[in-house]
Amino acid sequence: MAKLNTPVPDWADLFLAKQQEMFHSFKQNLELKLEQRFEELNKTMKEIEKDTKAMTSRMTNTKKRIRDVEEKQNSQEEIIIALIGKVRDLKTKLSYMESYSRRNNLLLVGLKEGLLVGKEAGGEPAAILRYILDQTEAEAASEVDRHHRSLCPHPDPQQPQKPYVIGLLRWED
């Protein structure tokens, strides 16, 4: 077969040139738009990274503050538990003191040793009570059951004397 050497028409060259020009223009527009999009994405990614760093910093601070609050709460719970124990002990002591105060005993502090020795029960202590209460013998409303010094060692001469306990049979206010 023989090869035909026919010239390419001008319109085909023009069409081909126009097509290449359009392709080149399309390619440039696409590259420009892609470049703009990449710049926007980079800018957005940097903002996200900045926000993430700020949130991480705030989260770290928040964790630290929560840990501090929990430690303070734990120490306060320990204090509360200790205080509850003290309140329980004080209630027990108060109950004992209230019960003890209902007894018909008087405690006289500061009486010299030997002041009431040798007196019969109800004799001299009753006179001391009448003197303290500013009563006559007829007005006396109390009857002494027993009297003694409190059970503690003898004090040195420069120390205060042992308290004197007087037990009453009955007491009228």
Q: Residue 147 in contact with residue 121, Cβ under 8 Å?
A: yes
Residue 122 has pLDDT above 50, yes or no: no
> CA–CA separation, 87 vs 94, rounded Å?
10
Mind listing the pLDDT tens digit for each residue in 50-69? 999 999 999 999 999 999 99
pLDDT of residue 159: 76
Q: Residue 71 in contact with residue 133, Cβ under 8 Å?
A: no
pLDDT of residue 130: 74
Q: Residue 171 in contact with residue 126, Cβ under 8 Å?
A: no
pLDDT of residue 46: 96
* Largest interatomic CA distance in the chain: 168
The DSSP code sequence of 92-103 is HHHHHHHHHHTS
Q: Give the pTM.
A: 0.37
pLDDT of residue 12: 78
Range ranked top by mean pLDDT from 6-20, 74-88, 132-146: 74-88
Question: Which one has a higher pLDDT value, 27 or 133?
Answer: 27
pLDDT of residue 152: 72
Tell me the mean pLDDT in the region 17-23: 91
- How many alpha carbons fall within 13 Å on the CB side of residue 2? 3
Domain coordinates of the chain in residue numbers? 104-170
Range ranked top by mean pLDDT from 30-44, 98-112, 155-169: 30-44
